[in-house]
Structure 1
């Protein structure tokens, strides 16, 4: 991992504007939004958008303001514009439920239509949204590019896999300060992206959901800040 224009803050982790992750022979730029830009493919990778999550809750009697989809799509449009990506790969669970394709508000459907007109979209199947849809782009179970496999669920036995699903977070406790934030994490064989959706949570990468997935000796972690990234040494990670 190479961090440019980095300085170490008083909590002991690096605060940086630009981070480059090298994984399986390829170079990626993680973004503070949780997207991953792959310049060699001019592709933007995003995991777990969970569009229409709050509308799904409303259908089940739990009423929440239905603004999560618009927030996520605005963020995605900004990242596409910033990077100039011509290909967007959504690594599954793009919708919180398959029926979310039908509950999009007209304004959100128009936003999504604008995005799919600006870039080629590949929608990978997730456990929340396994069925294909017709919102623009191509729906696939997995995607192979330049020797890497892009898929929804992480598997230890498959080297060169980029996945989502687990919503990883890093918890750091240094000098009396405790911070827990979504993160990118990889060990050279497996990379897991943070959840991109505005209404998603996160799970500590030291917790049982990640048991057996990573070789901790080779672990590299980049934590999301409000508007920048923080590379974190594995010895700084705590459970909790």
Structure 2
């Protein structure tokens, strides 16, 4: 994937590897989402953080990344870092010891947390702006927040999967967390964000990613 003059490798996990910067970009991990639901009386299986950590550990091994940048909503709530089980905290500490970790603030976790690494509101890297929420009219912006998904129909078969989407000005990453939902990029939330003639969509598959023609996109 080429965006704003830079080459990236989209991963089937939803991570984006920036070879030139040895940096793994992820968005919307939402650690401890199920624990947050449990505190409100919704007793859901509390395994989402462990599953997301396993995905993250695998991507760091596979890519050999030296830096991890999480584009906000790393935790589902401001206090979610305090809800980690000892085992999950140990695994997350191992990640922060292994690579440089930069945690950008999101709408779910605007306050800096006590996990290792550096907490920032947003950052600039090699001429690109990295942040949580997308903004209109900015060139070279990489963000998350909207959990983009593509819905396509081919020969009567319908498939809906999380996706990367960009127009060479704005690049949105899919949600990386194991218990996160997704929003169709044809929905109202995306109106006005992209210049459609330049749109490029890359859908997540089981073991690889797939470029998708915008002409095949459908609502729903």
Match of 1:112 in 2: 92
TM superposition shift of 1:200: 0.3
What does 1:188-203 correspond to in 2, within 5 Å?
A: 188-203=168-183
SS of corresponding position for 1:63: coil
Residues of 1 paired with 2:137 and 2:67: CA distance? 27
* 2:10 matches 1:40: no
Match of 1:133 in 2: 113
Q: How many residues align?
A: 220
Q: State the Cα deviation string for residues 86-119 of structure 1 (Å, max 9, x = none).
A: 0000000000001111000000000001100110
What does 1:89-168 correspond to in 2, within 5 Å?
A: 89-168=69-148
TM-score, length-normalised on structure 1? 0.91
Residues of 2 paired with 1:223 and 1:51: CA distance? 23
* 2:188 matches 1:212: no
Residues of 2 paired with 1:133 and 1:62: CA distance? 25
TM superposition shift of 1:133: 1.1
RMSD over aligned Cα atoms: 0.5
Match of 1:7 in 2: none
Q: State the Cα deviation string for residues 182-202 of structure 1 (Å, max 9, x = none).
A: 000000000000000000010
Match of 1:13 in 2: none
Point out the structure with the larger strand share: 1
Structure 1 outlier segments of 4+, above 3 Å: none
TM superposition shift of 1:230: 1.0
Match of 1:228 in 2: 208
Residues of 1 paired with 2:82 and 2:138: CA distance? 35
Residues of 1 paired with 2:188 and 2:122: CA distance? 25
Residues of 2 paired with 1:157 and 1:233: CA distance? 24
TM superposition shift of 1:148: 0.3
